[in-house]
Chains A and B, each alone.
Chain A
């Protein structure tokens, strides 16, 4: 990449960061900074943390931001670095930039609307709305995981989950179809096994109140109606830890201060994490994440 192209991309990146801050500031969100070095990383099935002395580098600011929500912060956002060990590829860097925000009294449907508004603000700032064949300013189209898998993979992962088949079919069958869509896509209602930290619906069988945003077939954001029950959260952490142990992955200690905060009470809340680098890839229309970062 030439120096002038690089300067242009990084100038665009700076403008997008400003746009994001202006967007949230105008909506009464407070920008916060939470620890980058953490005593224990969030337990996730397939996310490994980078050690940092007797601590770890955060894989996400999620648990600290939720502690702030429990403490009474109603609208907060953060833009900062996250670290995931071993993730390097055209769409992954071991260090990358995340935009994450939480809003009390909201559910993940509210966040769909807010994300749509954010994308429109980004288009306005750039003075253009079509990138990689996708109109970013358009109303997103919604697909439930169930419908998408029935349609393009021929089975229902909500009824009977199969992890390997789910991951393979999602990347090889579903995502290529989402890539054809000329507007943003919300893939929603994940199987319970992929609920992570989301609240479950009252449906039978229940699905996770969780969605992911796709632009041009690339996953950009993950949103939850947050799970607020401490006991259920502890149970999920324990199952996750057992799974990690079985697969020979390191089992991080459970984040007790986070569970204590949940026990004291968390208001109904929704939260979302959006990969800033991935959004930049779309805006710069590049297939390589390294093209949109200074290093």
Chain B
């Protein structure tokens, strides 16, 4: 169990059998009253958020969480398969956990898989992924402005906004945290 003195942003706690992460945390104390800790919480599995206020004396559940370094192998139906490189053990992760991150998965990509009671509930991938642009309108000649964008598609069909100077066949880096274009890279 955690006590309120353990509370901080980023702490993962368990409430009614679900793991939550504290996204915001505030010490409050009404005049002559007891210390209270007002927390904003995000359910790590569903992503839903809620507010909870704890009293100093309250105890908080400690979730059974474990993070493992794994590599991405291949998609399989409604799942994605990851492998532990050292033991060759394979785990499947539900597509709902991966969400839009599926567009950024590349074979053999190293990821961190978060387990809650042995169930994979979240993955953390590298901040940037490299992708080839396979479809985009040609930009106007000599247009090098970076603040004007146009739609483009990468090889797996994912759509992003790119600057006008990006051409089909160019390689770009995408920020996996925002899903947005980061920069153009020269490749092979």
Q: Which residue from chain B places its CB closest to the CB of A92 in the assembled complex?
A: B27
Residues 60-96 of A contacting B (Cβ, < 8 Å):
86-92
Contacts A172-B53, A247-B57 hold; do A167 and B31 have CB atoms under 8 A apart? no
B30 contacts A175, C-beta separation under 8 Å: yes
Interface string of A151-175 (1 = CB under 8 A from B): 0000000000001101110111001
Residues from chain B with Cβ under 8 Å of A88 in the complex: 27
Contacts A46-B35, A87-B35 hold; do A167 and B30 have CB atoms under 8 A apart? yes
A222 contacts B31, C-beta separation under 8 Å: yes
Give, as a whole number of angstroms, the nearest-CB distance from A47 to chain B.
8
B53 contacts A171, C-beta separation under 8 Å: yes
Residues from chain A with Cβ under 8 Å of B27 in the complex: 87-92
Residues from chain B with Cβ under 8 Å of A91 in the complex: 27-28
Residues from chain B with Cβ under 8 Å of A92 in the complex: 27, 29
B53 contacts A46, C-beta separation under 8 Å: no
Q: Say yes or no: is A226 at the interface (Cβ < 8 Å to chain B).
A: no
Contacts A164-B55, A172-B53 hold; do A44 and B32 have CB atoms under 8 A apart? yes
B29 contacts A87, C-beta separation under 8 Å: yes
Q: Say yes or no: is B149 at the interface (Cβ < 8 Å to chain A).
A: no
Looking at B26, B32, B57, the one whose CB has the most chain A CB atoms below 10 A away is B32
A92 to B33, CA, bound (A): 14
A196 contacts B36, C-beta separation under 8 Å: no
Give, as a whole number of angstroms, the nearest-CB distance from B34 to chain A.
5
Give, as a whole number of angstroms, the nearest-CB distance from A49 to chain B.
14
Report which of B30, B35, B38 forms a contact with A219, defined as CB distance below 8 A.
B30
Q: Which residue from chain A places its CB closest to the CB of B37 in the assembled complex?
A: A89
A166 to B34, CA, bound (A): 10
A194 contacts B32, C-beta separation under 8 Å: yes
Chain A interface secondary structure, helix, strand, loop or mixed? Answer: mixed
Residues from chain B with Cβ under 8 Å of A164 in the complex: 34, 55
A219 contacts B31, C-beta separation under 8 Å: yes
B32 contacts A46, C-beta separation under 8 Å: yes
Report which of A46, A90, A168, A175 forms a contact with B26, defined as CB distance below 8 A.
A90
A117 to B40, CA, bound (A): 39
Residues 25-83 of A contacting B (Cβ, < 8 Å):
44-46
Q: Say yes or no: is A107 at the interface (Cβ < 8 Å to chain B).
A: no
Give, as a whole number of angstroms, the nearest-CB distance from A214 to chain B.
9
A171 contacts B30, C-beta separation under 8 Å: yes
Residues from chain B with Cβ under 8 Å of A196 in the complex: 32
Contacts A164-B55, A247-B57 hold; do A171 and B28 have CB atoms under 8 A apart? yes
A46 contacts B36, C-beta separation under 8 Å: no
Residues 219-235 of A contacting B (Cβ, < 8 Å):
219, 222
Residues from chain A with Cβ under 8 Å of B35 in the complex: 46, 86-87
Give, as a whole number of angstroms, the nearest-CB distance from B41 to chain A.
15
A45 to B57, CA, bound (A): 14
Give, as a whole number of angstroms, the nearest-CB distance from B63 to chain A.
25
Interface string of B18-55 (1 = CB under 8 A from A): 00000000111111111110100000000000000101
A212 contacts B36, C-beta separation under 8 Å: no
Q: Which residue from chain B places its CB closest to the CB of A164 in the assembled complex?
A: B55
Q: Which residue from chain B places its CB closest to the CB of A247 in the assembled complex?
A: B57
Residues 52-105 of B contacting A (Cβ, < 8 Å):
53, 55, 57
Report which of A46, A190, A212 forms a contact with B34, defined as CB distance below 8 A.
A46
Interface string of A164-191 (1 = CB under 8 A from B): 1011101110010000000000000010
Give, as a whole number of angstroms, the nearest-CB distance from A98 to chain B.
13
Report which of A86, A89, A170 forms a contact with B30, defined as CB distance below 8 A.
A170
Give, as a whole number of angstroms, the nearest-CB distance from B74 to chain A.
48
Residues of B near any A CB (own CB < 8 A): 26-36, 38, 53, 55, 57
The 7 A-B residue pairs whose C-beta atoms are closest, nearest first, are A89-B27, A167-B33, A170-B30, A46-B34, A212-B31, A219-B31, A171-B28
A–B complex contacts, Cβ < 8 Å, 14 sampled: A87-B27, A87-B29, A87-B35, A89-B27, A89-B29, A90-B26, A91-B28, A163-B33, A167-B36, A170-B33, A171-B53, A175-B30, A212-B31, A222-B31
A-B contacts besides A87-B29, A90-B27, A222-B31, 13 pairs, CB < 8 Å: A45-B32, A46-B35, A89-B27, A92-B27, A164-B34, A167-B55, A170-B33, A171-B30, A171-B33, A171-B53, A196-B32, A219-B30, A247-B57
